[in-house]
Amino acid sequence: MAFVRLAALFFALFFLATSVLSMKSTEAASCSATCTVGLSKPCGSTSCICSPVLLLAGICSSGVESLEKKIDEHPNLCRSDDDCVKKGSGDYCAPYPYQHVHYGWCFDSNSRMLKNFLALPKGMAK
């Protein structure tokens, strides 16, 4: 039952993010406005990257520098457990289960959300 509620909450947040974020302009004309983290070409082009805003939803932008800046500024994006502790967003940096995503999301190590995040299927990226 809790999984159904969590799934409904996720889809509601994803819908909200895609509807709000689609109105924002992107840095390059060839990049689409919104994306899903974990897809092999989430922005439709290899020159664009998906900068996460929510757990699995993001905005397409051009350049690795913008992603690095986004990771530093976003309270839940991390490269290590120390990043999470410094940002005050938890104590565990859970890596995304996709080979091409080289950052993670901060969680409290005892949270149920962490267990659900770690259960994401690895084949979803294909």
Give me the residue spans of the domains in the chain.
Answer: 26-121
Say if strands 92-95 and 104-107 run parallel, antiparallel, or are unpaired.
antiparallel
The identity of residue 2, as a single letter, is A
Please, which pLDDT band fits residue 123 given cuts at 50, 70 and 90?
low
Q: What angle do CA 21, 18, 121 make, to 5 degrees?
A: 130
* 75 vs 34, residue with greater confidence: 75
Contact between 43 and 60 under an 8 Å Cβ cutoff? The reply is yes
Q: What is the mean pLDDT of residues 14-23?
A: 46
Report the range of poorest mean pLDDT among 4-13, 15-24, 44-53.
Answer: 15-24
Residues 49-95: tens digit of each pLDDT: 888 888 888 888 877 777 888 889 999 999 999 999 999 999 999 99
pTM to 2 decimal places: 0.58
